[in-house]
Amino acid sequence: MTPLPEPFSALSPGRFNGKVVLVTGAAQGIGQRVAERIGAEGGTVVLVDRSELAEQVADGINEHVAKNGSEGSASAVTGVDLEQFAGAELAVSETLQRHGRADILVNNVGGAILMRPFEHFDAEQIQKEINRSLFPTLWMCRAVLPTMLEAGSGTIVNVSSNATRGINRVPYSAAKGGVNGITQALAMETAGRGIRVMATAPGGTEAPPRKVQRGPGPEGEQEQAWVKDVVDQVTESTFFKRYGTLDEQAAPIVFLASDEASYMTGSVIQVSGGDMG
């Protein structure tokens, strides 16, 4: 079992009571913190991830809920490949089988695999970046849409990035630009049918070392220098000259997912210390 989450900066107890919430990429990082927070605020959370570590996170949420007496609960759907539509369909069908509905979807899967100037990406590497950071959001939106349309209500929050403008991540930037496009077009298409679609665009975020790596990591001095260039650019572009925290990223996502944001749709909210990307 993963340790219980650290105390949150602020909570709204009961804000998600009675809501069924899918969170993808929930085994670590921003997705884990979002799932923990929604569970602590009363939501029935389904953690979706390739990694079985999501099961441990769900156990930690349930222990936290029991300790604090909230109405939340958590379970996990693991081993699903959201880069394929079949994986997204499985995640949604498992949720419907367990809980009968899906009120909220938080799409968090994604992240740059390599950081290097564009001319140093080959075709296969470019395709992997797009598969990783665009298709999980696209497929999950499509998979959850029928049940939300049938219910006449639903909320989708996509986690994009302010790296749509930045160095050494052109394929990732293209994928996140696609996430922004999905957000805005789907919001316009479905608002009249009771569905809200929003996104946040996180900047650089401090997080514990990844438990499951996205790729092989930088190899050699040149690769490490390209990564450092990205870190320096991201840090210097913020007004605060620092990375954000997991709580600072999770809080806006959770707000947008809640009924408190009922008059917000179609927007991509920058959460990047003033760096508009």
Give the whole-angstrom CA distance, residue 167 versus residue 202.
16
Given the residues 121, 172, 226, 243, select the one marked as catalytic.
172
Q: Helix or strand or coil: residue 219?
A: coil
Strand pairing report for 44-49 and 73-78 = parallel
- Output the CA–CA distances (angstroms, integers) from residue 253 to 18, 107, 146, 266, in the order listed: 18, 10, 23, 14
229 near 168, Cβ under 8 Å?
A: yes
| Tokens encoding 196 | 């809200």
Q: Which residues contact 185 (CB under 8 A, 6 or more apart)?
A: none
132 near 178, Cβ under 8 Å?
A: no
Q: Helix or strand or coil: residue 201?
A: strand
Give the whole-angstrom CA distance, residue 64 versus residue 60.
6
Rg (CA), the chain: 18
217 near 153, Cβ under 8 Å?
A: no
Whether 172 is catalytic is yes
136 near 24, Cβ under 8 Å?
A: yes
- Output the CA–CA distances (angstroms, integers) from residue 163 to 138, 139, 170, in the order listed: 19, 22, 9
Q: Which residues are catalytic?
A: 172
